[in-house]
A and B are shown apart, each in its own frame.
Chain A
Amino acid sequence: MARKLRWIAVIILLAPALRAEAIPAFARKYGMSCTACHVAWPIFNQEGQNFRDNGYQFGLGKDDPVTISPAYWPVAMRTTPAYQFTRTTNQPSDQGPITVQSGGVPLPPGVDILTAGTIAKDISFLLVVAGFGPDGLASVESAFARFDNLLGSNWLNLKIGKFEMDEPASAHRGATLTYGYAVYGAHPQGSLVPFDMGENQVGIEIDGHDARSATRYALSLTSVNGGEVLSGRESGNGWSSPMVYGHVQQAFETGSPVLPWVRVGVLGGIGWWPTSFVTDGGNPIPGTYGDHKRLTRAGAEVSWLMGNAATPLFFTVAYQHGTEAAGLAEPGTIDPATGIDLSTVSNSFDGGFAELDWVPFAESSYNSVPWLLFARYDGVRFQRGTGNVDGGTIGARRYLALGPRASAAIHLEYHYDRTKGVGADGPSGTPLDVTTQALLVGVDFDF
């Protein structure tokens, strides 16, 4: 059981981030380059953020389907054929700790099919079906309807469905393709809770913003489990494990050519996860949940541009503190350091990330942003138990096309992380650290 839990811990902490949303259907609709709305695809700039906040509308009479060519079809696809090599140390085996290495090109490489746009003024939608990889499976990654400018105010908009919660940095629009933000999916050792901020959640969101999206807020009521049955310990009902989550951001323009723009934000969330079920043959019966325990998230972030805003050094630093109440760890989960059964005590973690995305220069061509260089540090520290993680990711994207019809980029990325005490038992009987390295080389197509 402990061995299984270690694997789960590694998987949850280091869930691959090979998913993203970038919608060239909008570029086609408006005739604009990707760079109009993205620092470098897929990372939003302020124009893109405002467009999204407005329910995929620029609001000048050219948004409604009836105002555009009947030939326009709001569909986009993304696929990333890539070679990925992964090396993970200290994995348990019958022969003792081993290093597992794997590498290859998934064929087919998987496809995200995205459709999004406006149905009528102030009514919009997004549907993302992702998958179609070697296993042939596909799933609905996002599906929501959005109603904007309720009561005539851009401070009141409603989103309902499965969507990405408003985050300090979007897990779906990040530059990295190997591993996501570790703190988003962090849980203490033995946690029963699968909640991952970086995954889309099912629920409703009320949000609002000023005309430039300098001031923004989002308040959501979602399901901690994403509305999906993951382990049989939840009902699959979107409301059996609720979370209330809020995020507020404020951007400041400094007028300085060195530091033209700074944005700060705070977030908080409180959720509840069931810990008791009626069982049948020892297995939980879905829908019989009870005895909810509390988990919380609180955090703050600051992001800023340096240099020319059109060719920025874009920094984001985010911090989060999370708690999980006693009872939210698997009974019998022992902290190797203290011998405490972690299911009997509350636990917490502190973590965050620091990210730099750099567009070194612009070219006077239709591929105006030819390069994106990126680097990120992730760190998480737990109050009790194992799983402290430090990781780093660096990479470069060479854009081959960033036009108003489609995009393509050669993507090179290297990731390294070390997770404390989640590996196979060492000679002294204590779990070893696990290091993971990943190298990805591929081509990211968006069309």
Chain B
Amino acid sequence: MKRTLALTLPAAIAALAGTAFATPAVPDAAARGRKAFDRYCISCHGVDGDGRGPSAEWLDPRPRVLTSGTFKFRSTPSGELPTDKDLHQTIANGLHHTQMPRWSPITGQERSDLVQYVKSLSPRFEKEPQGNPIAIPPQPAFTAELVKNGQDLYGKMGCANCHGDTGKGDGSSAPTLRDDWGYSITPRDFTSGPLKVGDEPRDLFKAFMTGLNGSPMPSFAESITPEQSWALVAYVRSLRKP
């Protein structure tokens, strides 16, 4: 009985506290994931996940430094760790305009194991809880008025400094931008193609409200409302050339 209590108490506390506890990698799955990582990932992300594989120097943008625990594409607030689902989605869907392909053809088991292995590469997952996904309110109709509001916000929030007045990613600050590892980083050109992480309006909404960790793109969660974020989404989507 004592043993049962000892086993269930931490789990119960964790459940009560939501994800307030760190959720490190599951060892068995991470061990399997290591084999998949060796097979699929190390030419770019490196043997140790440090983003320094033999192909890394030739890739733009550079492969993620997985040991840092810093991930651009998340559903969680700025600075926080991604959820397992976030990592799984990046692996399965790939990232547009990068050399990260879709790994959806491989088995779901392999992708899940890779998620656990990626978590094992960074000590942050041992120490910090993974974040909770932000709430995304229902998407409003993208009316002309909403687009106009978004255009005003685009100017007011200084988006044009990096992304340019017309959204082509050619703002005055663009040539000087660096990521956390000192590599040059190009702001997104909103006039063409999908975002790296996806092409749905909710993907843009998430990017505005979570920021892209490790990059100069901040989170606006503290400075704009969800309604204003949707207005920005509406405007940025309107910049897309057919």
Binding site for B on A (CB under 8 A): 27, 30-33, 35-36, 45-47, 49-50, 58-62, 69, 211-213, 253, 255, 257, 260-261, 308-311, 361-366, 368-369, 403-405
Contacts and interface: CB of A to CB of B under 8 A. Distances in A.
A255 B110 CA distance: 10
Nearest to A257: B109
If over half of B's interface residues share one DSSP class (helix, strand or loop), that class is named, otherwise mixed; here it is loop
Nearest to B97: A61
B47 A61 contact: no
Contact of A309 (B44, B53, B102, B109): B109
A50 B99 CA distance: 16
Contact of A310 (B36, B99, B108): B36
Interface string B77-113: 0000000000000000011111111111111111000
Given A32-B44, A310-B39, A366-B42, A60 B95 contact: yes
A403 B54 contact: yes
A31 B59 contact: yes
Given A31-B59, A32-B44, A45 B35 contact: no
A58 B109 contact: no
Contact of B39 (A31, A213, A261, A369): A369
B47 A364 contact: yes
Interface in B39-61: 39-40, 42-44, 47, 53-56, 58-59
19 contacts: A31-B59, A32-B40, A32-B44, A36-B40, A46-B105, A46-B107, A47-B103, A47-B105, A49-B105, A50-B105, A60-B95, A60-B97, A260-B110, A308-B35, A310-B110, A365-B38, A365-B42, A404-B53, A405-B54
Given A213-B105, A404-B54, A35 B96 contact: no
Interface residues of B, number: 36
Contacts of B240: none
Given A255-B108, A403-B54, A31 B96 contact: no
Contacts of B44: 31-32
Interface in B49-77: 53-56, 58-59
A300 B34 CA distance: 35
A35 B95 contact: no
A332 B193 CA distance: 67
Contact of B104 (A211, A261, A368): A211
Given A30-B99, A47-B105, A364 B38 contact: yes
Contacts of A260: 107, 109-110
A61 B198 CA distance: 12
A404 B55 contact: yes
Most buried by B among A60, A362, A405: A60
A46 B125 CA distance: 31
Nearest to A261: B107
A308 B43 CA distance: 20
Contacts of A364: 34, 38, 42, 47
B137 to A, nearest CB: 29
A368 B105 contact: no
Contact of A362 (B35, B97, B106): B35
Nearest to A33: B43
B32 interface: yes
Contacts of A59: 102
A62 B99 contact: yes
Contacts of A363: 38
Contacts of B100: 60
A105 B98 CA distance: 44
A27 B98 CA distance: 15
Contacts of A36: 39-40, 43
A35 B39 contact: yes
A325 B194 CA distance: 56
Most buried by B among A31, A211, A369: A31
Contact of B105 (A31, A32, A212, A403): A212
A46 B53 CA distance: 23
A62 B98 contact: yes
A85 to B, nearest CB: 34
B92 to A, nearest CB: 10
Nearest to A72: B58
Contacts of B53: 31, 366, 404
A308 B32 contact: yes
Contact of A60 (B34, B54, B58, B94): B94
B101 A30 contact: yes
9 closest cross-chain pairs (CB), A and B: A31-B55, A368-B38, A50-B105, A310-B35, A58-B101, A33-B43, A310-B36, A46-B105, A404-B43
Contacts of B194: 61
A291 B104 CA distance: 50
A58 B94 contact: yes
